[in-house]
Amino acid sequence: MRRNYILFCLLGVAAGLTFSAIAQERPNSTGAQSAAVPAAQGNATSQPATHTVAPAKTTLQTAEERAQRLEGEKRFRTNCGRCHQAPHKFPPRVMAAAIRHMRVRAMITDEDMRLILRYMTQ
Amino acid sequence: MGNYPFKLDMQVALAKPIPRKRMQLWRGDFCPLPSENQWIYTRRIALALVLTVFFAIQTKAQTQPEEEVKPVPLLTGSGGFITTFDGGDPHLGPIVTPLLLVPIGRRWVFESRATFESDMVQVPGQSGFHGTVEKEVEYAQLDFIANPYMTVTVGRFLTPFGIYNERLYPIWIRNLASDPLILPIGLGPSNASTGAMVRGGFKANPKFNINYTAYFSALSTVSHLDSDRFAGGRLGIFVPAARLEIGGSFQHGLQNERSNAFGFHAIWQPPALPLDLRTEYARSISGSGYWAEAAYRLSQVPYLQNEFRRTQIVARMQQYFVGANTSDALPSVNTKLFEVGLNYYFMDGLKASSNYGREFSTEGNKNIWTLSLTYRFVVPLGHSGSE
């Protein structure tokens, strides 16, 4: 009887955690799909996720944004990937707080922090 | 209530602490009053830190605004349930580790992490599992980002010795559920320090970055906030192109035997493979040892990619050698431990782990099985900026 009770409690906790995680994941499922790929798989040869470019932007701006995005992704995988699996993207203000925390904790450089923040909030 | 299987009985002592418990004693059991020389040494370190802060503030005007997006306070952290069979004895280990992160203005951060955990075991003659809930403030620190090269921290902070305590300790980050045997070396009681620290990282050369830490910790005997008096530092070199970091740590004790501790660490992620290689060596008067860990993500398996890319296999080998002084936090005999594990990432922040370890020591060999489910949560305490 007690074993069943313990098992029931464990299953309840597991189910709760799973549903909570799924609920958190759902709005960012697209980002999660691309970010769930492990770090080394998409190293220097990785392609950015396809996205629609606004027609008003010039080709130069688009190329610059693309370059910054690639560099930000590279810095993310190089710095954050040492300890973390690739997360899905958080809202901008959440990511700004997290990156400030990681700047102190992981001692990433100022330049890396800016590029990673830009990449993670795009 | 008497038949409740998870009742918390404050009267019951733990049968045997599981390996990953961080509540531990260190060399602070006997703390004589400091001599005059020790005070002079302490004052010199304090003066050096004050001057460092002063010059850091002087360079504040030269820095650029650091972020374009205003950060929001966060309540984050992790929760988990770890089941361990240590030599056949079952342990149930629920753990919750909330982290409060409060950015203040453009340059300040207050961060604090606490741990609530238990090690519940079966007690002969009683039904169910019993254990106490242990509470600890792991760190409560105020950070001032003085300039792009330096951050000044005051308060209670994780002792920056080696890489595991600061970077890999949270249960949702670590690859194996158990702590390395040498983890307590160089960390002080509760793995934390109370004092001041300067740290930072910068690009020293187009090919590599340097990160550094220097700190001073004062003696504290306050319950749940205890720390030893010592000073130390850590230096690391990171080569982004090779994804290689190597570094070393040093610490000088300023009480009791005034001994030194030092260590080395290395992290390498070969760019062509989803492989993490980590190793650490530490030595102190209490003992020495090393651990080496490899974790491989099965994303290169050509079939069932959705499942295999979420799967990781881990192996770790470690060895510990007893030193001249004994410590309750470290093994009492020379010990070898081999572990293999399997992790499955359901999604970001939710992970199931299992691992098997075989421990060899003169006290007897034993098997250690571990199953765990961990979850990382993030709750913004304000408008998060999402559309």
Q: How far apart are CA A118 and CA B181, in angstroms?
A: 39
What parts of chain B have a pLDDT lower than 50? Answer: 1-34, 58-66
Q: How far apart are CA B323 and CA B327, in angstroms?
A: 9
Is there a contact between B349 and A36 if contact means CB atoms under 8 Å apart?
no
Q: How far apart are CA B377 and CA A98, in angstroms?
A: 13
Give the model's pLDDT for residue B108: 94
Q: Within 10 Å of residue B288's Cβ, how many Cβ atoms? A: 20
Question: Largest Cα–Cα distance in chain A?
Answer: 69
Q: How far apart are CA B318 and CA B334, in angstroms?
A: 11
Whole-Å CA distances, B158 to A11, B141, B329: 34, 9, 17
Torsion angle of the four alpha carbons B297, B298, B304, B310, in this order, in degrees rounded to the nearest 10: -20
Is there a contact between A22 and B267 if contact means CB atoms under 8 Å apart?
no
A110 phi/psi in degrees, rounded to 5: -60, -45
Is there a contact between A96 and B103 if contact means CB atoms under 8 Å apart?
yes
Tokens of A84: 């973390």
The alpha-carbon gap from B272 to the nearest alpha carbon of chain A, in Å, equals 6
Residue B377 is given by DSSP the state: E
Please report residues of B whose CB lies closer than 8 A to that of A99. Answer: 67
Q: Within 10 Å of residue A30's Cβ, how many Cβ atoms? A: 12
pLDDT digits (tens, 9 = 90+) for B97-129: 999 999 999 899 999 999 999 999 999 888 889
Give the model's pLDDT for residue A50: 42
Give the model's pLDDT for residue A67: 87
Helix (H), strand (E) at residue A114:
helix A110-121
Q: How far apart are CA A34 and CA B36, in angstroms?
A: 61
Structural contact between residues B351 and B341, judged by C-beta atoms closer than 8 angstroms:
no
Give the model's pLDDT for residue B256: 80
Give the model's pLDDT for residue A121: 83
pLDDT digits (tens, 9 = 90+) for B288-328: 999 999 999 999 899 898 889 999 999 999 999 999 888 88
Q: How far apart are CA B165 and CA B113, in angstroms?
A: 13
Give the model's pLDDT for residue B236: 96
pLDDT digits (tens, 9 = 90+) for B167-193: 999 999 999 999 999 999 988 888 899
Give the model's pLDDT for residue B6: 40
Is there a contact between A110 and B148 if contact means CB atoms under 8 Å apart?
yes
Is there a contact between B350 and A17 if contact means CB atoms under 8 Å apart?
yes
Q: How far apart are CA A41 and CA A77, in angstroms?
A: 10
pLDDT digits (tens, 9 = 90+) for B132-144: 999 989 999 999 9
Amino acid making up residue B175? N
Whole-Å CA distances, A27 to A22, A87, A90: 9, 14, 10
Nearest alpha carbon to residue B290 among B270, B317, B260, B309: B317
Is there a contact between B347 and A121 if contact means CB atoms under 8 Å apart?
no
Residue B273 is given by DSSP the state: S
Tell me which chain B residue has its CA closest to the CA of residue A10: B81
Please report residues of A whose CB lies closer than 8 A to that of B81. Answer: 10, 13
The answer for residues whose C-beta is within 8 angstroms of residue B101's C-beta and 6 or more apart is A97, A98, A101, B73, B74, B75, B76, B109, B110, B111
b or e along B311-337 (b: 16 or more beta carbons within 10 Å of the residue's beta carbon)?
Answer: bbebbbebbbebbeeebebbbeeebeb
B70 phi/psi in degrees, rounded to 5: -75, 125
Torsion angle of the four alpha carbons B178, B180, B182, B183, in this order, in degrees rounded to the nearest 10: -70
Q: How far apart are CA B34 and CA A7, in angstroms?
A: 54
The answer for residues whose C-beta is within 8 angstroms of residue B199's C-beta and 6 or more apart is A104, A107, B150, B151, B153, B160, B211, B212, B213, B214, B215
For chain B, say whether A13 makes contact (Cβ under 8 Å).
yes
Per-residue pLDDT of chain A (122 residues; tens, 9 = 90+): 556 666 666 566 556 545 444 444 444 443 333 333 343 343 333 344 444 445 555 777 788 888 888 899 899 989 988 888 777 778 899 999 999 999 999 888 888 999 999 888 87
B67, B201, B349 member nearest A96 (Cβ): B67
Mutate to test the interface with A, among B59, B67, B152, B311 (most CBs of A within 10 A): B67
Angle at B384 between CA B381 and CA B387, to 5 degrees: 150
Please report residues of B whose CB lies closer than 8 A to that of A78. Answer: 240, 243
Is there a contact between A111 and B203 if contact means CB atoms under 8 Å apart?
yes
Is there a contact between A91 and B212 if contact means CB atoms under 8 Å apart?
no
For chain A, say whether B143 makes contact (Cβ under 8 Å).
yes
Give the model's pLDDT for residue B255: 85
Is there a contact between B309 and A96 if contact means CB atoms under 8 Å apart?
no
